[in-house]
Structure 1
């Protein structure tokens, strides 16, 4: 077959439009999948139930399940109103506020933990005053919450802002024209309409908080949470030692994934 003939035949083949992007994307998907498959395969040699039954593991699970919901609640109560302001108002310094919201996502968690220590560490004015009042802000559950809040709160702010931004402002204007004040309009109109994005942000905030390691290591290495306990077990016994707690975190992650899928796509950047 001549070169010209081969060329005509090749040109006659119907190549799917997205074949090349799909193949390239498939490579990264394989890379994402491979660690999950190999790790789950390795769990067959681990005694998961007995590993989770140890006092150290149960204490770490309890600490994580106690602090992560508190962190999520604080982030929601403080972050959702900020998200609404960012979605609806223009004001001097708005770009600075937006940058402050995004910065914890950019700064490495260990660096973020060091920054927190410079603000609330034991020898800072705030930290020493809190310790004197019997509420130490480092090496305590309060310290764990502070570390989690720094790295996790941006998720609910960003997603909630996108949800509020998607609401037609004329709906809120109609509510105001009917005599409802700004607070009533926010509570009865804006909040329900943005509910899906807010719930997705809350779920992601919880997931980020319960899995936080770097900032927590810096601010509150003790008491141990699940991630810090996993690190201790890894140093002492390697991969096999961390399987029980890692599987527990993985199960939580799967639950989070199911909830996020339930509430739809989640924005990852602040929409302008």
Structure 2
């Protein structure tokens, strides 16, 4: 009797978990169902400048994510493996870009990198202008995406057992070889999640880009411009394209990382 009751209780808990999971899933996707029915499919067309905004977002988001990964991976590894007094201060500072409202962060970037600031004037003398230019657009996306990648990459590195790295070192591999041959493959899923998250954040960044690089217009800013100048109907076609170009990359990265990790074992 006791075993039977325990089985029924487990089945009831499993059923409740499924219901809650489905409820949360429906809650998250309900607005997108509304998007499907609100779109005027009979008059589905792009506004002027939409295709240029798509190209801008794809190209510059890719460059921003690449730079964020190249710069953020060493920092994430250092934070994951380093131990020193006052490390919590760096953790708190890393949270500042995440906690700062995007519009406020855009204002801070304009104040620091603007043409009338000391740093901005140095870049201006070198012919690099960090307001309303392609470099400014990429800079804004890096600030919007890199903190998310660093946090995800740090968690991925912390999940790699130190014992495996130590075994690699005892077998004659140096620190760099251990990183490439042991640490990086084992952290692949977490790093891939970080790349996917950084890509989504870069593609969807609006507040920082609006202040720092209104031009060239990417998809998020162009959505806002279409809403202001044309109306709601001009938003839906570009929004559908945004989903089509932004979602496949993180899905592909996640599936590829899982397959490669399964192949290792």
TM score, norm. by length of structure 1:
0.83
1:60 is aligned to: 53
Rounded to whole Å, the distance in 2 between the matches of 1:257 and 1:124 is 37
How has the CA–CA distance of structure 1 residues 24 and 195 changed in structure 2, closer, same or farther, with 3 Å as cutoff?
Answer: closer
**1:112-166 alpha-carbon deviations (Å, 9 max, x no partner):** 1111112101210111221222110111111111111111112221121111111
Q: CA deviation at 1:100?
A: 2.4
2:261 is aligned to: none
2:28 aligned residue (26, 32, 41): 32
For 1:1-272, list aligned pairs within 5 A: 16-17=12-13, 28-45=24-41, 47-48=43-44, 50-51=45-46, 54=48, 56-256=49-249, 258-259=251-252, 262=255, 263=257
SS in 1 for 2:13: coil
Contact 1:152–1:208 (CA<8 Å) still a contact in 2?
yes
How has the CA–CA distance of structure 1 residues 127 and 47 changed in structure 2, closer, same or farther, with 3 Å as cutoff?
Answer: farther
SS in 2 for 1:139: coil
Contact 1:72–1:206 (CA<8 Å) still a contact in 2?
yes
SS in 2 for 1:17: helix
Q: CA deviation at 1:92?
A: 3.0
Rounded to whole Å, the distance in 2 between the matches of 1:46 and 1:233 is 19
**1:46-103 alpha-carbon deviations (Å, 9 max, x no partner):** 643x416x4x112111111111011111110111111111111112332122222222
Rounded to whole Å, the distance in 1 between the matches of 2:205 and 2:128 is 22
Query: Which protein has the larger Cα radius of gyration, Structure 1 or Structure 2?
Result: 1
2:3 is aligned to: none
Structure 2: gaps spanning 5 or more residues: 1-7, 259-265
Contact 1:172–1:190 (CA<8 Å) still a contact in 2?
yes
Structure 1: gaps spanning 5 or more residues: 1-12, 265-272
Contact 1:46–1:243 (CA<8 Å) still a contact in 2?
no
Contact 2:77–2:157 (CA<8 Å) still a contact in 1?
yes
Contact 1:80–1:157 (CA<8 Å) still a contact in 2?
yes
RMSD: 2.3
Contact 1:204–1:256 (CA<8 Å) still a contact in 2?
no
Contact 2:223–2:235 (CA<8 Å) still a contact in 1?
yes
How has the CA–CA distance of structure 1 residues 216 and 199 changed in structure 2, closer, same or farther, with 3 Å as cutoff?
Answer: same
Rounded to whole Å, the distance in 1 between the matches of 2:98 and 2:167 is 37
Contact 1:63–1:223 (CA<8 Å) still a contact in 2?
yes
